Structure 1
């Protein structure tokens, strides 16, 4: 595991959270359209889940390791 600057990780987290919120809005708008593109909707949802996983991994990197 690399030693990254916590400030860089926090900045990246902010970017990913914003993209996650943007996808949330895009998914809601697309789902509201009658006859929407199911494939595009599925891809957006998968991207959103990937972002969620990435955010969780980065958040866990910000938690300091505790010696047992």
Structure 2
């Protein structure tokens, strides 16, 4: 799929990937801050971790789209 992608599409996917990575880092920082406060709401932490996993999965999907197929 990556070979058939226009430069504009590649740029769009790359921008979304960077956005997802930034949001993932932000969630990681938010989770750490909640845990370090000591009074972390477990449900809130679980929700943030679930969102973080969803972001990671979406980022992996986009990385696969952007990576050209290599025939071994």
TM interval, shorter chain, is 0.7 to 0.9
SS in 1 for 2:39: coil
How many residues of Structure 1 are paired with residues of Structure 2 in the alignment? 67
Unpaired stretches in structure 2, ≥5 consecutive residues: none
* TM-score between both structures, scaled by the size of structure 1: 0.87
Q: Which residue of 1 aligns with 2:63?
A: 59
- Could you say which structure has the higher helix fraction? 2
Which of 22, 36, 40 is the equivalent residue of 2:44?
40
TM (norm. structure 2) is 0.82
Q: CA RMSD for the aligned pairs?
A: 1.8
Hey, what does 2:12 align to over in structure 1? 8
SS in 1 for 2:40: coil
Runs of 4 or more above 4 Å deviation: none
CA deviation digits over 1:4-53, x for unaligned, max 9? 71110000001000000000100000011122100000000000000000
For structure 1, the residue ranges without an aligned partner over 5 or more in a row are none
